[in-house]
Amino acid sequence: MVTGYLLEIFGGLQWNDPLTSFGKLGGIVLLSSILAIICFLIAGIFIYLYYKKFYAIGEAPKGWTYFFLGMILCGFYQLLKVPFTYNWIYGDFFIVIFLIFQVIAISVLVYGLYLLKKEVSI
C-alpha cells in the first residue's frame, strides 16, 4: 500500500489518447505541439547555418553559440511538454525534472540574447 502511494506521489506513467484528451480540440493541441517542436528545431538549424556561413573563418561569437543552444533546448522542452500536456507522466519527481529543464533552457536562451545585445551595443 505504501509503495503504491509513493509511486503516485513521485511519478507514474499512464496512457491517454491525445486525440480524445481535450475533446474536439485534442487534434489541434497535438498538432500545435508538433509544430512548436519542429519550428524550434528548424530555427536552431537556421541559426547554426547562419553563424557557420558568416563566421566560417574565425570562431563564432559566444552570443550566437548560446542562442543556438537555447533554441535547441527550447525545442526539446516543447518535446518534453507533450507527455505533461496529455498526463502521460505524472508525479512530483517528473514535474521537478521538467521545471529544472525549462529553467535551464530559458536561461541559456536569455543569456545568449544578452550576449548578442552586448555585442551589438559595443
What does the longest C-alpha to C-alpha distance in the chain come to?
64
Name the pTM for this structure. 0.72
- Looking at residue 2, its pLDDT comes to 46
Q: Which residues of the chain have pLDDT under 50?
A: 1-2
Question: What pLDDT score was predicted for residue 52?
Answer: 76
Spatial neighbors of 5 by CB under 8 A, at least 6 apart, are: none
